[in-house]
Amino acid sequence: MVLAIYAMAMAVVEAAVVVYLRKLYYPAGFDISSVADLTALPWPILKIELWREAATIVMLMAVSFLAFADWRKKVAAFILTFAVWDLGYYLFLYFFLKWPPSFTTMDVYFLIPWPWVGPVWIPIVLFSVLAVASLRWFYKIGENGPQSSSPNQ
């Protein structure tokens, strides 16, 4: 639960950054009908965006790996926090901007290692599935408990 709250807080920060970038560099609106629309961001700002994206992944990974000793739980936690963060990002973008107007709206998912562009429904479906799968994995890991050398322990 704490990891999900952390991921949602990170989603607020991520959405806020996008609100600011859109206001500064896309005052007439953001139309990602082509990747060429990214050229509105000057290269120094785009470099910072790349670093910010990388830092976000590192923070999600770090908190997930610090939360558990078992490597399986670490991986499940990262998948969960990443999924909740991305779903929360779209939730807060909608809350702040009423964007996206539909699930078929095109978006830039990530800039690393290159711009990933597609309709909004793809990450929403993907990360919904990953969130459920990671929760099921946690349940399964918890059911089996730590691996022991003796079946009676």
The predicted-structure confidence for 13-34, as pLDDT tens digits, reads as follows 999 999 999 899 888 777 776 5
Which pLDDT belongs to residue 141?
83
Return the beta strands (E) in the chain as ranges: 106-110, 116-119
Could you read off the pLDDT of 89-107 as tens digits, one per residue? Answer: 999 999 999 999 999 998 8
- Are 12 and 86 within 8 A, CB to CB? no
Tell me what the pLDDT averaged over the chain comes to: 88
How large a percentage of the chain has pLDDT more than 70? 88
More confident residue, 56 or 30: 56
pLDDT of residue 144: 64
Query: How far is residue 54 from each of residues 1, 48, 58, 60, measured CA to CA in Å?
Result: 24, 10, 6, 10
* DSSP E strands, 19-128: 106-110, 116-119
State residue 114's pLDDT score: 86
32 Cβ contact list (under 8 Å, min separation 6): 38, 106, 107, 108, 117
Banded pLDDT at 127 (limits 50, 70, 90): very high
